[in-house]
Each structure stands twice: as C-alpha cells, then as structure tokens.
Amino acid sequence: EKNITLDSATRIELSCKLDNKYSHLKSLQVTWKRGNETIGHINKTENSWSIQLRILDNSKLGSYSCTLKGEEELSAVFHLQVPKIEGKEKAIVSYEGDTAVMICKSFGYTPIAWTWYMTNGSEQIAINNSLLADKYSIERVSANVTHLKISELTKEDDGIYWCEAAFELGKSKGKLKLKVLSLMVPLKPFLAIVAEAVILVTIVFLYEIYSKKKEKRAEDEKEFDQVEQL
C-alpha cells in the first residue's frame, strides 16, 4: 500500500511492477480498479503495468488497486488523498478566566483558506471571529499555520474543536480538544495539605493541654500525699 498526497489538479501515473522473485509467473491477468470500479487502458512494459490519471477534483481521489492473477494472486493499493492536517493529540488544558491558543499546521502544502469549528452536540459550528471579536481571534500566522485564540474561558468552552484547510482538490480537518478546569482544581492539593497541617497542629495542641493537665494532677496528688503524711 502507498499513500499519495495531492493538493491541486495534476496528471499522475500509477505503476505496478512485478518483483524479480515473481518473474517466473506467466500469463498474468491484470486488473486495475478504483474502489470496486474496473479501469481499463493499461500500459504494459516488461513486468510492469501502469495507468495514467488526470485528477481535476476530489471525485478522482480515493483508493486505486492493481491485481495480478495467475498461479498466484498479487495486488497493490494506492491511496490518493488531500494533505493531512496536524492538530494536537493531547488535550489543551487551561483554567476558567484564562486564554487558550490552539494551533493547526499543514506541512509542505499551502491551503487556500482555513476555517475553525466548535462542536455543539453532534453539529460542527463555524467560528466567526468578526461577530465575537472579544471572545475569538483567528490568525493565519503563516501560509501553512493558523491559530485560534479563545479569551475569558468558561466551562462552556470545554470540548472538541476542528480546523479545516481548503485545498484545490478538497478539504482536510484536524481535531483538537480543549479542557477547561475550575480554579478550585489546582487549589485542592494545597487545601488538602493545609487541612492536614491544621489537624496535626490541633492534635499537638490538645496533646500539650492534656500533658499539662496530667502534670498538674500529678503535682496535686503529690502535695496531697505530703499533707496526709504530715
């Protein structure tokens, strides 16, 4: 299998060449397919079969395969696709009231345009920063990089975001996840430590009081014994 990335209209030749270890195979029947659709016009040279394609739009993208049938059956698959967009696998973590910046990149290929979406249930809603300029800011840092800046984060901003790059042959999306935490979250370990310290100090304080009372009781008993002796 082989992945072939295309971002604009082009002509391309796909070729299957029989490995030398299979050169003994004779009378091979060769079939080219796009998905399940058989394609004709096979150009053959010695132990090699190829097709030429004119890719004008995304309807010509997809999986192409060549199958060689004889004593054995051999096949190869070519996946024609638009460039993949890199988002971020790990969730971006921030806190309520803070600002989060999400980044998407397209390596080696320049998109015609970028669009950002936020997920609302099962729907993807395009983010229009001109309507909510104080909340969202979209910046195309370079031809291949886009930023989405979200200010004054709330729990409602928590969720899945998508960046979409438009190429001449189609669109490609990158997925990002934003996790918005309450300000109490980082304070919880601190509060737990403070609570433990308070409990410890209280125990020590009570022990001191108990010890002093015990000492005083011992002194009183000693004094009583002395009086009784007299």
All structural domains of the chain with their residue ranges = 2-81, 85-183
User: Is 85-183 a CATH 2.60.40.10 domain?
Assistant: yes
pLDDT confidence of residue 16: 87
Residue 214 has pLDDT above 80, yes or no: no
pLDDT tens digits along 41-93: 677 777 788 899 999 998 999 999 998 887 778 889 999 999 999 877 678 99
pLDDT recorded at residue 229: 62
pLDDT tens digits, residue range 160-198? Answer: 999 999 999 999 999 999 999 987 655 566 656 766 777
CA distance 87 to 153: 20
Contact 9, 56 (CB under 8 A): yes
CB 207 within 8 A of CB 199: no
Do 176 and 147 form a contact (C-beta atoms < 8 A)?
Answer: no
Give tens-digit pLDDT for 96-132. 999 999 999 998 899 999 999 998 888 889 998 777 8
Residue 1 DSSP symbol: -
- Whether 2-81 and 85-183 share one fold: the answer is yes
The CATH number of the structural domain formed by 2-81 is 2.60.40.10
Tell me what the mean pLDDT of segment 20-27 comes to: 71
